[in-house]
Amino acid sequence: MHRIPVGRPALVGNEKAYVMECMDSTWISGGGGKFIDQFESLFASFCGSKHAVSCANGTAALHLALLVYGVGPGDEIIVPALTFVATANAVRHCGASPVFVDSDPGTWTIDPALIEQAITPRTRGVIAVHLFGHSADMDAIMDVARRHDLFVIEDAAEAHGASYKGRPVGSLGDIAAFSFYANKIIATGEGGAVVTDDASVAEKVRQLAGHGMDPNRRYWFPVVGYNYRMSHIAAAIGVGQLEMAEWHIGQRRMVAALYLRRLTSVEEIVLPVEMPWATSVYWMFSVILSNKLAVHRDDVILQLADQGIETRPMFPAIHTLPPYRDATRSSLPVAEHLANRGITLPTWAGMTEDEVEFVASTLISALACGG
Ligand SMILES: *Cc1c(COP(=O)(O)O)cnc(C)c1O
């Protein structure tokens, strides 16, 4: 049987050659090798930002961004309830508390109109997540944040190359975190980056990611740092990926366009939107089963699996997970609905039109609703 994975990295450029160059040079860790510098400068310009500091993964990037703002015990950080769990975990890694806000029913990203009521005297900042490749409504988020003197971190782990009102994500908030995990749009295996326009912030991030070493005094450690460095091999893969960034993004958008064309007439499912102010990069094409459908979401997933198609349930709403349940003040109905009824379909660069068609038609028969 032809198996279709939910995600797959496309290593079709110079990745292999650059990795071999690392091997031959014996530069395999971060530190001295040229690919770290190359990757960081390529990525900063890709984001329309002045500085990118590479790090071990996207969760480390979020943690570093929070640490730069001095987030610690007693602080509250506003995060969307519907995101990958790492967004909230990074807040807990600082000893601080995430406060969950419901989703906008259109874009599925944090609903800016609900942020204000979640603010308390302990609130320090907001993490805006560009979910599934679609930007959050940044102007509205920045507006409420500025009025309450809060910082805004963009979690852009799912949105490399996406834009908001013509500006690239990663350059919209005070600081941004990216992931380069294997299933992300730009992939290095494990990897992350913190992006900022502020040179002193970038330097602080680099220091914290490198054991806290004083940038002007080797092997002197004025603060407790972390080992959050990216490996040189990962950076080499990343340079190969960034050389073809437009292709990777174009492939995602093409797969999404094929799904949209095929599924648009199916009334029983809700498709992702692309707001007039956004260019989505469709990290993972997800659909929401309408409540009108009697079929259980997990049964649809099983039926697709029977045909060799790997899908995923939507992220659970984080406030329903054991580590976060007790902290939640109220139910968050939009996030809960999306989490319970959402399915993430196979989406990756190199997927053929026939594969998309097979997934879409198998989904339609699983819903037993024609289309
Ligand atoms: C993948 C992801 C992360 C975490 O990235 P890792 O590199 O796996 O640590 C954080 N936030 C979001 C929204 C993600 O999708």
pLDDT at 210 over 70: yes
pLDDT of residue 329: 62
Which residue carries 């992350």 as its tokens? 192
- Model pTM score: 0.97
pLDDT of residue 368: 81
Strand positions, DSSP E, 93-135 = 97-101, 123-129
Ligand 1 and 58: CB distance under 6 A: yes
81: Cα within 13 Å, side-chain hemisphere: 31
339: Cα within 13 Å, side-chain hemisphere: 21
Give the nearest ligand 1 atom to 190 CA: 7
330 pLDDT band (50/70/90 cuts)? confident
CB 173 within 8 A of CB 128: yes
- Name the residue of 103, 179, 347 to mutate for ligand 1: max ligand atoms within 8 A of Cβ: 179
Distance 267 CA to ligand 1 centre (A): 32
Q: Tell me the per-residue pLDDT of 311-329, one tens digit each, with 9 for 90 and over.
A: 999 999 999 999 998 766 6
Looking at residue 133, the DSSP 8-state letter turns out to be G
351 pLDDT band (50/70/90 cuts)? very high
Q: Can you tell me the distance from the alpha carbon of 126 to that of 333, in angstroms, rounded to the nearest whole number?
A: 20
Q: Can you tell me the distance from the alpha carbon of 189 to that of 57, in angstroms, rounded to the nearest whole number?
A: 9
Ligand 1 and 188: CB distance under 6 A: no
CB 125 within 8 A of CB 77: yes
Contacting residues for 218 by C-beta, under 8 A, at least 6 apart: none
Burial of 290 (0-12, 13-18, 19+ CB in 10 A): middle
Closest CA to 319 of 166, 143, 3, 103: 103
Largest CA distance in the chain: 68
102: Cα within 13 Å, side-chain hemisphere: 16
CB 332 within 8 A of CB 102: yes
Torsion angles phi and psi, residue 287, rounded to 5: -125, 155
Ligand 1 and 179: CB distance under 6 A: yes
Ligand 1 and 57: CB distance under 6 A: yes
pLDDT at 371 over 60: no
pLDDT of residue 326: 75
Q: Tell me the per-residue pLDDT of 47-92, one tens digit each, with 9 for 90 and over.
A: 999 999 999 999 999 999 999 999 999 999 999 999 999 999 999 9
Q: Tell me the per-residue pLDDT of 169-209, one tens digit each, with 9 for 90 and over.
A: 999 999 999 999 999 999 999 999 999 999 999 999 999 99
Contacting residues for 140 by C-beta, under 8 A, at least 6 apart: 112, 113
Ligand 1 and 7: CB distance under 6 A: no
Q: Tell me the per-residue pLDDT of 33-50, one tens digit each, with 9 for 90 and over.
A: 799 999 999 999 999 999
Ligand 1 and 181: CB distance under 6 A: yes
Ligand 1 and 187: CB distance under 6 A: no
CB 114 within 8 A of CB 102: yes
Contacting residues for 32 by C-beta, under 8 A, at least 6 apart: none
Give the nearest ligand 1 atom to 191 CA: 7
- Average of pLDDT values for 92-101? 98
Q: Can you tell me the distance from the alpha carbon of 54 to that of 230, in angstroms, rounded to the nearest whole number?
A: 6
pLDDT at 369 over 60: no
- Name the residue of 54, 55, 57, 59 to mutate for ligand 1: max ligand atoms within 8 A of Cβ: 59
Burial of 92 (0-12, 13-18, 19+ CB in 10 A): middle
Which residue carries 């912030």 as its tokens? 201
Which residue carries 């690239």 as its tokens? 168
Closest CA to 268 of 232, 244, 249, 295: 295
Ligand 1 and 155: CB distance under 6 A: yes
Write out the two tokens for 109: 């990203």
96: Cα within 13 Å, side-chain hemisphere: 25
CB 14 within 8 A of CB 239: yes
How are beta strands 192-196 and 51-55 bridged, if at all?
antiparallel
Q: Can you tell me the distance from the alpha carbon of 212 to that of 209, in angstroms, rounded to the nearest whole number?
A: 7
pLDDT at 370 over 50: no
Q: Can you tell me the distance from the alpha carbon of 289 to that of 26, in angstroms, rounded to the nearest whole number?
A: 51
Q: Tell me the per-residue pLDDT of 10-29, one tens digit each, with 9 for 90 and over.
A: 999 999 999 999 999 999 99
258 pLDDT band (50/70/90 cuts)? very high
